[in-house]
Amino acid sequence: MSNTSEKIAIAPMLDWTDRHYRYFMRSITKHTTLYTEMIVADAILHGNRDKLLGFDGSEQPLVVQLGGSEPHKLAQVAKICQNYGYKEINLNCGCPSDRVQAGRFGACLMREPDLVADCVKAIQDATNCEVHVKHRIGLDYNYDYEYLANFVQKISATSSKKIIVHARNAVLKGLSPKENREIPPLRYDFVYQLKNDFPELKIMLNGAIKTNEEITQHLKIVDSVMIGREAYYNPYLFADFDQRYYADKSTPKTRYEIACEMINYLSQVQENGGKLHNVTRHMIGLYHGCKRAKIWRQQLTTQLIKSNNLDDYIRLVEFVEQE
260 is catalytic: no
Distance (Å, whole) CA 282 – CA 277: 8
Q: Is 102 exposed, middle or buried (0-12, 13-18, 19+ CB in 10 A)?
A: exposed
Q: Which of 81, 93, 95, 108 is catalytic?
A: 95
Could you please report the per-residue DSSP string of 227-273?
E-HHHHH-GGGGGGHHHHHH---SPPPPHHHHHHHHHHHHHHHHHTT
Could you please report the per-residue DSSP string of 65-79?
EEE---HHHHHHHHH
Residue 36 DSSP SS3: strand
H helices of 41-70, in order, are: 41-46, 49-53
Q: At what angle do helices 310-320 and 293-301 cross, to 10 degrees?
A: 170
Distance (Å, whole) CA 97 – CA 117: 22
The C-alpha torsion from 126 through 128 and 130 to 133, rounded to 10°, is: 0
Q: Going edge to edge, which strands form the sheet with 8-10?
A: 8-10, 224-227, 202-206, 162-170, 130-139, 88-93, 62-67, 34-40
Distance (Å, whole) CA 227 – CA 13: 10
Q: At what angle do helices 113-126 and 71-84 cross, to 10 degrees?
A: 40
Beta-sheet pairing, 62-67 with 34-40: parallel
184: left (phi over 0), alpha (psi -120 to 50) or beta: beta
Distance (Å, whole) CA 204 – CA 215: 11
Structural contact between residues 266 and 24, judged by C-beta atoms closer than 8 angstroms: no
The residues that are catalytic are 95
